[in-house]
Amino acid sequence: MTDEDDPTDEISDIEERIEALAEIAERCRKFILASRIAIAGGVALLLAAVLGLFGTGQLAALGSIALVLGGIVSLGTNLSTLRETEADIRDAEALRSDLIGGIGLRLVHDVPAKLM
């Protein structure tokens, strides 16, 4: 097997890509959580504004609607990005598995230790 046939560099590159994609996925999960919190907070603020718990009901209602809409947009964007990233991770893992499977690995047997 020559250096050109050695897939270990390509496997290393794929593993680095998988790690980078995993970081992106984790960042998306954090944004999804923040988006859900924003939506819940916006709904709570809207409910409080409708019930008249704030003196400036119109301003609070407008702010809560903006918060809910912003949360929905952020949630949708990050969910789709997360799905795409997870698909890319699965594809990269499958490629890595194929490359590892194509390497002619040898089975190494345990050699009994010699006593001195």
Query: Can you give the residue ranges of every domain in the chain?
Result: 8-101
- State the sign of the Cα–Cα–Cα–Cα dihedral 56, 59, 64, 67: negative
Predicted confidence band of residue 116 (pLDDT cuts 50, 70, 90): low
Question: pLDDT tens-digit profile of 73-99?
Answer: 999 999 999 999 999 999 999 999 988
Q: What is the CA radius of gyration of the chain?
A: 26
Q: Could you tell me the end-to-end alpha-carbon distance of the chain, in angstroms, rounded to an integer?
A: 38
pLDDT beyond 80 at 104: no
What confidence score (pLDDT) does residue 49 get?
81
Predicted confidence band of residue 102 (pLDDT cuts 50, 70, 90): confident
pTM given for the model: 0.76
Phi and psi angles of residue 28, each rounded to the nearest 5 degrees, phi first = -65, -40
**Are the CB atoms for 92 and 17 separated by under 8 Å?**
yes
